[in-house]
Structure 1
């Protein structure tokens, strides 16, 4: 077999991509007059072009393959996510007005479900007799991200706190549950799903909640493993186990000091209640865990480490159920990027101040004015810490003066509604009639009371349906001493309506309230900074070993 005259050339393969004569060749391409040296150089150039051509093809295939693989993985993650209706209860909370910089806060409700509706959850949570029962929301936290995205405030409500639960409809079964004031907050999840829990929180706080996220036992374990361990601390040896006088227990067993927990042990830490001594103290332990987890994730540079991010994305999408408007991986990622902007020393975890329920000593109720202070700070976007600047960005946008002149007082039609059931408190009987009569006495002859049952409204407002009644609404507010910022347009009313909220339970003149100050939390809110890594849990004596 004849050998090629050029070493390394593949016999029979021509450079069909070359459309120009070889360098050094004559017009006929013969290379005459160059003694054959030009032919070897041209062959080398042909080989280089072939290498480049095949490299380009391989690269194009690789890029296309990577893009397809990326798209398929993205769809896989989206397929992991489960979503549900955002609000499935009677709730009328409205989004906060933008601040002077045009920014609005973001509120997320985090729910920990005790569902035993899978073998995995039963194995982790025990109580096999409860398999198939509607789940309870034993962990509930409101995460408030400030409008300027510089601070975050978290409020937990202990699971045994009695609050009004609105009328809710379960989006899965269509079953409707009537409103009740005799249930504890963790039961809201069983009365219409997480959308009912969200509606309960909105009515209690007056805060519009943008999203909910829910996780069960197995999800906690999966996420804890994906993170790789979170440091916790106890001051004494702890063993949360059944005792003669107290059944149950999470099984948590640790020696005094610092430990890195993950998997099932992380779940035990979050579920432990008896060994700490109370539900509010369990909330403190959960806050310690969450703060430590945030510090751990920031130290891992998750958002810049593709491998870590993929591991967490896989775990998160399998573990979380979310409200439908954030039911894609991109939206969850965008949400995470917003939360990521807040440094740990601007994250403050708290527990709602509560007192013993006079109707049942095993239950709690919100602690009146102290609880109201917490909710007002959230509504008005006031940081729970005192590390921010002067707060100009938190000031509400100025209210434009109405161009609608007010009618004479005697001709203004106004209805007064009793909303004093808000804030977790029982309604004050007769408040609508009292304020309606006060308006009549001031010359508003067409003022009347709404005879419907009291509603839950944490804050007093004057509402109007259309621009031609704005002047009338502002005139009514001025007569009662209600601030102009509380005069709001609403499609839910047909005329000027005064809603007497839980912040105005006595008297006929709206009480003047000093604006809340940053960091001015009630002492029993048990505030914990996200940067505080030195705290340890005390163990209730019967559970030490």
Structure 2
């Protein structure tokens, strides 16, 4: 690019990318006093629910879901106004890492284009709790934790629709229990074996952000295109550069306990702009908001994020070159991205796409979950939420269903064998959060298959993982035709036939949608965002945090 137009292009690119990366520096607000590794055992920090507010607070104090301003980095890319900056050296500040370091065969299929040739975009936003610099250690505390393995304490999936009409953000609680796949560190070649029922934030310490990406793809079957990871540094600078972010509380609040815990946030009832250290306190506050849990903190973080989006887009305050320069320097030094976003120019290209999304089409949600001991696990509603994202269905309910992502299989690598030669295992996965598995379902479906000529069908009596929707799985392309034949015989839609490396042959898992009968009836499609996702629209100016009466003054 040459001439004056080229300079303008690079200047504009830097402007937008600076807006992006500066937002990222805010991502991981630090631990509250008392949220140290010593109080949290072996580094797998978490908490649970007990009867009584005070015991609940004690159990939950080990979880610190820090909001990642990386969301802002992509939500407001290119929306911070004009301004002319040209800092080629910022590229050298940006660190980059491999996108996915799990097994290639386990990757989610690439997102398919819609009928107009447009493709959705998925970006994983990661907030690291690393204490690898003096600045991060000062913000995060835990002096004895300096240089220890980082945890992915903030994880948010940002989905940009194929037509760029809307965005969806899904937060995952940091102590969610799930399966982490095998990962290989790209730097030293060290291999980390797969883990079952492990806290999701441990994924980052298993070779880097590429393992967190692999973990998300395994759970959601959503193909992730990019990641952006940041640490503690930069939150104060970001809030100061903006000039303050309006937040609201419905009563006077002071986040402080008699034992010295709490963020220290002290606000009067009403709406107030917070910046600097006070903004950091808001993002870290757990003691004082609603039920004093990390879920309440996440809600406050979403409120802050939405408010910041409105501030930047409406008033375009980040036009002061000196402020932008300082913010850009700090932010680009704190950010780590995949190779697809490792330059200011690449971020500018992303900014051009994201600029198209109006604020009132941005929806923030939290992955639906339930407690399991002191941790949480995804619920059936989480599966519903992930499906909506996977199929590019707007979470605000304003779009018709789009023909994208995860279509029914079309090309079959190998035709089906004769019915009598197809070995099929049938499992009972009919349990739900509210109901036990129905006895005998695997046998009933096995008998139905035998009656249709599948003589090698067998019922597996071992406990099966519960699934909301019946699925037929196959391990390799040569068995796809067999799996489709089994699905057709049972009346199961081809869209519910999936390739999976977790099965050794054609496998039917009878789900909660088929608790009786031998002829499958596909449930009526429900494209509504679950209420348990706690959806918040970025344009909602009426949001106000409820204050726990125990923390008023």
The C-alpha deviation readout for 1:102-135, integer Å capped at 9, x for no partner, is 3332111112222222110111122212222212
Name which of 132, 135, 143 aligns with 2:158. 143
Name which of 245, 257, 268 aligns with 2:270. 257
Asked if the contact 1:211/1:326 (under 8 Å) is kept, the reply is yes
CA–CA separation in structure 1 for the residues paired with 2:3 and 2:391: 54
TM-score by length of 2: 0.72
**More off after superposition, 340-349 vs 155-164:** 155-164
Partner of 2:386: 375
The C-alpha deviation readout for 1:444-499, integer Å capped at 9, x for no partner, is 24557999998999873555855x876544322211322123446x6969997446
For residues 45-60 of structure 1, the aligned pairs below 5 Å read: none
Asked if the contact 1:239/1:252 (under 8 Å) is kept, the reply is yes
CA–CA separation in structure 1 for the residues paired with 2:201 and 2:299: 18
| Offset, 1:536 | 1.2
For residues 63-102 of structure 1, the aligned pairs below 5 Å read: 75-89=88-102, 91-102=106-117
CA–CA separation in structure 2 for the residues paired with 1:113 and 1:403: 42
CA–CA separation in structure 1 for the residues paired with 2:504 and 2:176: 36
Counterpart of 2:233 in 1: which secondary structure?
helix
CA–CA separation in structure 2 for the residues paired with 1:180 and 1:431: 29
Q: Does 1:118 align with 2:133?
A: yes
CA spacing shift, 1:332–1:68, aligned 2, 3 Å: closer
Asked if the contact 1:469/1:495 (under 8 Å) is kept, the reply is no
CA–CA separation in structure 2 for the residues paired with 1:215 and 1:226: 18
Counterpart of 1:103 in 2: which secondary structure?
coil
**More off after superposition, 61-70 vs 134-143:** 61-70
CA–CA separation in structure 2 for the residues paired with 1:64 and 1:99: 33
For residues 352-391 of structure 1, the aligned pairs below 5 Å read: 352-357=367-372, 360=373, 362-366=374-378, 368-388=379-399, 390-391=400-401
For residues 415-434 of structure 1, the aligned pairs below 5 Å read: 416=425
CA spacing shift, 1:87–1:297, aligned 2, 3 Å: same
Partner of 1:282: 297
Name which of 328, 334, 342 aligns with 1:327. 342
Counterpart of 1:187 in 2: which secondary structure?
helix
CA–CA separation in structure 2 for the residues paired with 1:271 and 1:87: 29
Counterpart of 2:263 in 1: which secondary structure?
coil
CA–CA separation in structure 1 for the residues paired with 2:480 and 2:269: 63
CA spacing shift, 1:175–1:445, aligned 2, 3 Å: same
CA–CA separation in structure 1 for the residues paired with 2:446 and 2:95: 48
For residues 372-411 of structure 1, the aligned pairs below 5 Å read: 372-388=383-399, 390-391=400-401, 406-411=416-421
| Offset, 1:180 | 3.2
CA–CA separation in structure 1 for the residues paired with 2:101 and 2:137: 27
For residues 397-476 of structure 1, the aligned pairs below 5 Å read: 406-411=416-421, 413-414=422-423, 416=425, 439-446=449-456, 460-463=471-474, 471-476=481-486
CA spacing shift, 1:317–1:183, aligned 2, 3 Å: same
CA spacing shift, 1:241–1:122, aligned 2, 3 Å: farther
Partner of 1:485: 495
CA–CA separation in structure 2 for the residues paired with 1:264 and 1:172: 36
CA spacing shift, 1:328–1:418, aligned 2, 3 Å: farther
Counterpart of 2:156 in 1: which secondary structure?
strand
CA–CA separation in structure 2 for the residues paired with 1:329 and 1:471: 46
CA–CA separation in structure 1 for the residues paired with 2:533 and 2:154: 17
Counterpart of 1:102 in 2: which secondary structure?
coil
CA–CA separation in structure 1 for the residues paired with 2:503 and 2:174: 38
CA–CA separation in structure 2 for the residues paired with 1:146 and 1:213: 18
Partner of 1:152: 167
CA–CA separation in structure 2 for the residues paired with 1:167 and 1:452: 25
TM-score by length of 1: 0.72
**More off after superposition, 171-180 vs 321-330:** 171-180
Q: Does 1:347 align with 2:362?
A: yes
Partner of 1:541: 549
Counterpart of 1:318 in 2: which secondary structure?
helix
| Offset, 1:284 | 0.6
Larger radius of gyration: 1
The C-alpha deviation readout for 1:146-205, integer Å capped at 9, x for no partner, is 222111111112223322333333444544444334432223223333222222222222
The C-alpha deviation readout for 1:37-92, integer Å capped at 9, x for no partner, is xxxxxxxxxxxxxxxxxxxxxxx999999999999966412211111122233544
Partner of 1:206: 221
Q: What is the CA RMSD across the aligned residues, in angstroms? A: 4.5
Ranges in structure 1 where 5+ consecutive residues have no aligned partner: 1-59
Ranges in structure 2 where 5+ consecutive residues have no aligned partner: 15-84
Counterpart of 1:514 in 2: which secondary structure?
coil
The C-alpha deviation readout for 1:261-295, integer Å capped at 9, x for no partner, is 23333222212112211111111111111111222
CA–CA separation in structure 1 for the residues paired with 2:328 and 2:520: 50
Counterpart of 2:118 in 1: which secondary structure?
coil
Name which of 291, 296, 317 aligns with 2:311. 296
Q: Does 1:194 align with 2:194?
A: no
Counterpart of 1:218 in 2: which secondary structure?
coil
Partner of 2:537: 529
